[in-house]
Amino acid sequence: MYSGLLIILLPLIAGYLIPLKNRPLLHIVNQLLSWMVYVILFIMGISLAFLDNLSTNLLLIFKYAAVCFLCIFVMNYAALWLLERRRPWKSEHKQEKLPSRIHMALESLKLCGVVIGGFALGLTQWHWLTFASQASEIALLFLLALVGIQLRNSSMTLRQIILNRRGMMVGVVVAVSALAGGAIAALLLGLPLKTGLALASGYGWYSLSGIVLTDSFGPVIGSAAFFNDLARELCAIMLIPTLVRTSRSTALGLCGATSMDFTLPVLQRSGGLDMVPPAVVHGFVLSLIAPVLMAFFSA
C-alpha cells in the first residue's frame, strides 16, 4: 500500500538532503525544474490521447476539475474570511502599480498549451508513444528530486517559519479547509474520499499535482488536478488586488503554494512589503506538505 508513497517521498527527501551553496548550480536546478515540468506535462497530454472513450473522459476531467475547484475555493474562502474576522490583519499600504494580470494569466495558460501539444501528438497513436507512462514515471522521480533540492536551498529556516505566525496560520487554515473541500467534492462526484483529498492537496501547485496524480490515479484524475490548481492560480491573480483591501489573509491564502513565487509580485504590490514574509512562509509550508499529502492520499 505504501510503496507508492515511498517512491514519491524518497527522491523528494534525497533532494532535500543535498545542500547547494553554489548559485550557478542552483540556477541550473531551477532551470531543469522548469524544463522538466514542461516535459512531464507534454507526456501527460500524450497519455490523455490514449484513453479509451476519449470524449467521455474529457467531459469527466472538466467536471471533476470544476466541482473540485468550486468546493475547495468556497471552503478556503470561508475559512480565511473567518480567520480575518477573528484575527484582523491591518495595513496602511497603498497599492502600487500592478504587473499585468493578463500577462501573468497567459504565462500560466502556456502550460495548458503544452498539455494540448502532447495530446495532439498522442492522437497520432504512434506505437512508440505507448511508452509515455514509463517515461513519465522516470521523469517524475527526477522532478521530485529537483523539488527537494529547491526546497532545501530556498533560504527558509525552521526558525523563520515558526516566527512568522501569520504565514503559518494562513497556511494551516488553507491546508485544512482545502482538504475539507476535497472531501465534499469527492462526495458530490462519487469519488473515493482519498481521491478527493489527493485532488485537494495540490494547493495551487498545478505543475506538480497534475504529474503526481496522473502517475497514481491515471490521466483523468491527473488532468483534473492540473486544471483545478491552474484555475486557483488564475483566480488568485485576478482577485488579489480587490481582496487585499478587505481581507489580507484571504488574498494570501487563495494563492496557495504559489504565494512564494508566481503570485508574490502581485501580493507585494497590492499589499505592501509586510505581505512578503508571510507570503513566502505560507507558500513554503504548502509547497513542503503538498507532495507529501499527495503521496499519502495516493498510496
Q: Which of 4-13, 133-142, 285-294 has the lowest mean pLDDT?
A: 4-13
Backbone angles phi, psi at 89, to 5 degrees: -120, 100
C-alpha–C-alpha distance, residues 206 and 204, integer Å: 5
- Specify the higher pLDDT residue, 92 or 43: 43
Q: What is the pLDDT of residue 211?
A: 80
Q: Using one digit for the tens of pLDDT, what is the confidence trace for 217-257?
A: 988 898 899 889 988 988 888 888 888 888 899 999 999 98
- Specify the higher pLDDT residue, 146 or 54: 146
What's the pTM?
Answer: 0.76
Contact 240, 251 (CB under 8 A): yes
How would you classify residue 95: left for phi > 0, otherwise alpha for psi between -120 and 50, otherwise beta? beta
Contact 283, 150 (CB under 8 A): no
The counts of H helices and E strands in the chain are 13, 0
- Residue 215, pLDDT > 70, answer yes
Q: Using one digit for the tens of pLDDT, what is the confidence trace for 136-191?
A: 778 877 877 887 787 777 666 656 666 788 999 999 999 999 999 999 999 999 99
Mean pLDDT of the chain: 82
With CA atoms as reference, report the closest residue to 109 among 206, 210, 224. Answer: 206
Q: How would residue 1 be classed by pLDDT, with cut points 50, 70 and 90?
A: very low
Report the Cα–Cα distance between both ends of the chain, in Å, rounded. 6
Contact 59, 223 (CB under 8 A): no
Q: What is the pLDDT of residue 2?
A: 46
Q: How would residue 265 be classed by pLDDT, with cut points 50, 70 and 90?
A: confident
* Residue 171 host element (H or E): helix 165-189
Q: Which three cell numbers stand for residue 146?
A: 529537483
Q: Provide the 10 A C-beta neighbour count for residue 27.
A: 10
Q: How would residue 129 be classed by pLDDT, with cut points 50, 70 and 90?
A: confident
